[in-house]
Homo-oligomer: A and B are copies of this chain.
Amino acid sequence: MELSLAELAARIGARLEGDPAARVRGVAPLDRATPETVSFLANPRYRRLLGATRAAAVILAASERGACPVAALVADDPYLAFARAAAVFAPPAPRRRGVHPRAVVDPDAEVDFEAWVGPGAVVEAGARVAAGAWIGPGCVVGEGARVGEGTRLVANVTLAPGVVVGRRCLLHPGVVVGSDGFGFARDGERWVKVPQIGGVRIGDEVEIGANTTIDRGVLDDTVIEDGVKLDNQIQVAHNVRIGAHTAIAGCAGIAGSARIGRGCMIGGGAGIAGHLEIADGTVVTAMSLVSHPIREPGVYSSGVPLQPNRQWRRNAARFAELDRLARRLRRLERALAERGKEEGDATGEGG
């Protein structure tokens, strides 16, 4: 794939300042770019690399173009324009069709002849795999599960029975969808399992990162709406609902029956308690714990700042007496007010 800068500008929605006929054939970071590649500047942290770049052109915001030593592709959102440029040059996802002789497809499963089932993959009875789907090596598609058109299970993915995955989804290695939710009732010292007979429904264009797990519902389904992006090692408990186009970073954990709105951004390692709702468009920063509903969109955080351990120990010890400190402060305020009044009385300043 080779393009002129003019063509590229048109395809990514950028304005070109430079030679429209110059030809490029890839994207590269500022410090590795060559006169045959375009680069980008989206994060100001990397501005120092701009002056020395050898790129054919740099995708950047209008405010940065003064410092650009080569052609500029000026975009309102340079990162979005870069994403499009990278997509232009990226090799297409591999496409294969057919069932590998070392795959195991149950005679009662339906695999479209435009789908691929790789070596060591298992497709059980009643499962349906649509056209263009990719069931990579070592994947297991349980009884009655459905994989939509163009959806890829990269490798070693497990779909439990009855799980439904939409179209053009991408499930990375180690993903588990439809494992039993964690549901037990206490009976004396023992736990009685609550059968988990709900399912999981995943919409279209959902991406699920490596080793992320999504449990099936107790009675109702766990639901991941269209366009949701989940990073690696996220845990989604039973009966959670994640609204369309919400993005969640790695290692986050979402407890049972939580309902996360549309277009939210949840930071890495964050925890969401069960049975609560989070408003559309909410942002939660990394490693925060959401223990109450969030009704107003906004940016929310918890946690305390990192410090050298010696200082931190002293401050953390004080945290354990914080309520007492606050009460002592209140007492002081009262004492001083009292004293002020007395003095006021004594000096005739009082009311």
Residues of A in contact with B (beta carbons under 8 Å apart): 27-29, 32, 43, 45, 77, 79-80, 82-84, 86-87, 90-91, 100, 102, 104, 118-120, 122, 124, 136-138, 140, 142, 154-156, 158, 160, 170, 172-174, 176, 179-180, 182-187, 189-195, 197, 207, 209-211, 213, 215, 218-220, 227, 229, 231-233, 235, 237, 244-245, 247, 249-251, 253, 255, 262-263, 268-269, 271, 273, 275, 283-292, 294, 298-323, 325-326, 328-329, 332-333, 335-336, 339-340
Contact = CB atoms under 8 A, between A and B. Distances in A.
B174 A158 contact: yes
Contact of A211 (B82, B195, B213): B213
A289 B269 CA distance: 10
A138 B136 CA distance: 12
A268 B184 CA distance: 15
B195 A90 contact: yes
B290 A306 contact: yes
Contacts of A229: 182, 184, 191
A105 B344 CA distance: 93
Given A219-B32, A299-B308, A326 B321 contact: yes
Given A140-B155, A173-B179, A235-B268, 15 more contacts: A27-B219, A32-B219, A79-B185, A83-B193, A104-B120, A120-B122, A120-B138, A176-B211, A268-B271, A284-B306, A300-B309, A302-B306, A303-B303, A318-B325, A319-B322
A316 B303 contact: yes
A330 B182 CA distance: 48
Contact of A192 (B83, B142, B215, B306): B83
A291 to B, nearest CB: 6
Contacts of A251: 235, 251, 253, 271
Given A180-B172, A189-B263, A291 B286 contact: yes
Contacts of A87: 192-195
15 contacts: A87-B194, A104-B119, A137-B140, A182-B247, A184-B229, A233-B253, A235-B250, A299-B310, A302-B306, A303-B303, A304-B316, A304-B319, A305-B319, A332-B332, A332-B333
A32 B198 CA distance: 12
A229 B319 CA distance: 33
Contact of A301 (B194, B249, B287, B309): B309
Contacts of A220: 29, 32
Contacts of A187: 77, 80
A329 B336 contact: no
